[in-house]
Chains A and B, each alone.
Chain A
Amino acid sequence: MKNIFMITAVSVLSVTIAFAETAPSDVTFNDGAVMASLVGAPGDAAAGRNTFKNRKQGNCLACHMNDDMPAEQFHGEVGPPLSGVGSRWEEAELRGIVSNAKMMFDGTIMPAFYVDSGYERPLKKFDGKSILTAQQVEDVVAYLLTLKD
């Protein structure tokens, strides 16, 4: 009886650890890259494609051209075109760039999508929040990896 209890408790614990999200303040960068998935699992590329173009989420298209989305009007030119970006960068580097591009590109205009503090005068409804969730970051990274030359 006692033993069974112990086993159940341990397995619940390990499940929790496996799926624990990394909080924005706990993300560690190595030369601008983030090694481990923020959610402990690969992202969903199809969901990431939507997050990429959604104006209220990634709105990546505001600044980046993307040949994979010819149906979308108005691709921005502020950043480099992202066609073939999955061939140019490793997964960990892309995770770092999306989470906080300032760690890879010093002083960049590109917003940090997984940072929830340190910015000045946010609108109240965004205070203490990151632009994307951990899951959305992973989804976008999975999507970027499909953009091969």
Chain B
Amino acid sequence: MEFKTLLTSVAIVAFSAGVVSAQEDATLAIEGETILTSAAAPAFADNLDTVYSGWLFRKLETRALQMDDFDNPAFVFVDQGIDLFEKVDGSEGKACASCHEDVEDFAGLRPSMPRVEDGTLVTMENLVNDCRTERMGAEPWKYTGGKMTAVTALIGLQSRGMTVDVAVDGNAAPFFERGKELYYQRVGQLDMSCSNCHEDNYGTMIRADHLSQGQINGFPTYRLKNAKLNSAHARFKGCMKNIRATPFKVGGDEFKALELYLKLRISSSNIKTKSATK
């Protein structure tokens, strides 16, 4: 079963009580296009039968915001992304658009990230900064900063509705294993793992928050709480601080591995036939 998702900057997270359960029948249609919000979980996710989009766990008002690009506050930042994409910067006198004439050509990129290149795990942020430093002669952007999230949101948006398709070939296996280990490792003074909240207890309220499965396909995500786009690594960091753990470095090996693992959990690929699960 495919899991077509709200890839990109269209996801919104609200922090107020929701009565909605993940199991409820709800259809997410954005600009007339229906987007799948649940699918069978991959075989390696031992404790999950079904993966659910974070959208299902949001309040009805918040869900509605996400169904209309005009109402969706994330699009203010996508517009900033368009400007940044076209802006010349750096010693080579180039903009992103100098090499990538049409941003729509990036359709299909987000669903395949992160990916392994020459033995290293590469994220979308890495690709953007590689272009800036190596091809434009410009300063790298801050990994979770506003310019980075605006442009990664713009690039991600080109793949909206496409199926997540992260490769799980042999090269990715060690990163997958590391990500899995981190997902189940208890940390912090509160001594909890990601799985304690997002696998064992999704669908329940934790104080004012309706716990979702912590899916990352919608990232970078606009959060009503801080009124900006938030990258996946910034979200991981926030969750770790909440359990009073010293977060791993944004853009570092641990969070990149975690990102790959989480992306795979919503991947439609027939995981069993690939080597990563062994």
Contacts and interface: CB of A to CB of B under 8 A. Distances in A.
Interface of A: 55, 59, 61-63, 73-78, 109, 111-112, 119-124, 126, 129, 131
Interface in B1-42: 17
Interface string B46-77: 00000000000000000000000000000000
B246 to A, nearest CB: 5
Contacts of A55: 207
Contact of B192 (A73, A76, A111, A123): A111
A56 to B, nearest CB: 11
Interface in B189-232: 189-192, 196-197, 200-201, 204-208, 211
B121 interface: no
Interface residues of B, number: 23
A73 B187 contact: no
Nearest to A62: B207
B245 A122 contact: yes
B196 A109 contact: yes
B191 A119 contact: yes
Contacts of A61: 207
Contact of B244 (A63, A77, A112, A126): A126
A122 B191 CA distance: 9
A74 B208 CA distance: 5
Interface of B: 17, 185-192, 196-197, 200-201, 204-208, 211, 241, 244-246
B197 to A, nearest CB: 8
A112 B191 CA distance: 8
Overall SS of chain A's interface? loop
Given A74-B205, A126-B244, 16 more contacts: A55-B207, A61-B207, A62-B206, A74-B17, A75-B205, A77-B206, A109-B192, A109-B197, A111-B189, A121-B246, A122-B188, A122-B245, A123-B189, A123-B244, A129-B189, A131-B189
Contact of B189 (A59, A62, A75, A126): A126
B186 A123 contact: no
A126 B246 CA distance: 10
A123 B197 CA distance: 19
Contacts of B208: 73-74
Contact of A109 (B189, B200, B245): B200
B204 A121 contact: no
B191 A111 contact: yes
Given A111-B190, A131-B190, A123 B246 contact: yes
A39 to B, nearest CB: 21
A59 B205 CA distance: 14
A111 to B, nearest CB: 4
B245 to A, nearest CB: 5
Contacts of B197: 109
A63 B192 CA distance: 14
Contacts of B201: 78, 109
A75 B244 CA distance: 21
Contacts of A73: 17, 208
A124 B246 contact: yes
Nearest to B205: A77
Rank and list the top 6 A-B pairs by shortest CB-CB distance, nearest first.
A74-B208, A77-B204, A62-B207, A126-B189, A111-B190, A109-B196
A76 B188 contact: no
9 contacts: A59-B207, A62-B207, A73-B208, A74-B208, A78-B201, A111-B192, A119-B191, A120-B185, A120-B187
Nearest to A108: B196
Nearest to B185: A120
A122 to B, nearest CB: 5
Contact of B245 (A76, A112, A121): A121
Contact of A78 (B206, B245, B246): B206
Contacts of A121: 187-188, 245-246
A59 B241 CA distance: 15
